[in-house]
Structure 1
């Protein structure tokens, strides 16, 4: 019951109209959506806990490793895909394989330590990794076998001026190569790109 007041009759009581079936359905769906969003947020917060890993690794390509059962993407850089080719001295060459060889050489058979707190859409840990005193993320950009991707812009400019690695010839940016060959470009590693990608993934559920 709802109590109403009329300017002429004073206070009166009027029966509240029941909500329609569509309105009840809408309220139920909205409640489920909010609960789902809260669950996703809790899962996301759980996944942003910093992880510190160390051990022997398998080098997958110029910017990704496997350490035990954990797949790791080197944060802030983007190296050619393993099957990617580039152009130098009038001929194509397997720059993706060269990038992997460069990362393997930087590691030099030593144990690798990685630290990170975010994951990309492929569920790989985005991490900064070192082998001894060697920063692998920075080292790949300095050697010219990876591009800056949300970090290491100064190192990239130095490599470009020296004509190191990829910069000795011509090449497609790895993200452009992936798009041209049927793959999806990976998420930006800068903070704004990470936030945008997270929101985009969450919205897919609704």
Structure 2
């Protein structure tokens, strides 16, 4: 597969990883994210397994059909060798369909290609949005700007500095 390779093959979901397998390639759907399988949503004071239902809905959509995906190799997935792709079932854009029907959220900034579809799904109370779903970005603590670009090595370095500082303070407190 080269460039923006295409594949028209059956697809299988891997909900625990948030991925699809098309042929022998693991893919992440561009611009969208389904809830984790264990995600529970509130619907009029009644919790319901929205994560499982979202993935089951995707499984049903993929049943007995071939998925045609355009791989976007310039967009690196945070999952290592996983490619990011935009996929279609026939003429239907699967990424957009998941957002339109409320079973996936947009990923990225508010200028996402699917953001208008997400707002419409929210207004229509469909999929995840029924019963007052609150998107994770609303309740997750915001990352500090200095930590946003923080690498593992930088985080380790900061941890070592904090440990040394604590040790120094303990030594000072114990000194006569």
Deviation at 1:106, TM superposition (A): 2.5
User: Residues 135 and 159 of structure 1: is their aligned pair in 2 closer, same or farther, counting only changes over 3 Å?
Assistant: same
Which has the larger displacement, 81-90 or 138-147?
A: 81-90
Which one of the candidate residues 115, 118, 124 is aligned to 1:153?
115
Deviation at 1:72, TM superposition (A): 0.7
User: How many equivalent pairs are there?
Assistant: 140
Which one of the candidate residues 58, 79, 83 is aligned to 2:38?
83
Deviations 1:55-98 (A, max 9, x none): 11112239631123311111011211111111113211111111
Which one of the candidate residues 45, 48, 67 is aligned to 1:112?
67
Alignment match, 1:40: none
| Structure whose alpha-carbon radius of gyration is higher | 1
User: Residues 160 and 66 of structure 1: is their aligned pair in 2 closer, same or farther, counting only changes over 3 Å?
Assistant: same
The answer to whether the aligner puts 1:125 opposite 2:79 as a matched pair is no
Alignment match, 2:95: 137
Q: Show structure 2 runs of 5+ residues with no match.
A: 155-176
TM value normalised by structure 1:
0.58
What SS class does the counterpart of residue 170 from structure 1 fall into? coil
Cα contact 2:31–2:113 (8 A) shared by 1: yes
Q: Show structure 1 runs of 5+ residues with no match.
A: 1-47, 186-196
Aligned-pair RMSD on alpha carbons?
3.2
Looking at structure 1, the residues matched to 27 and 138 of structure 2 have their Cα atoms a distance apart, in angstroms, of 21
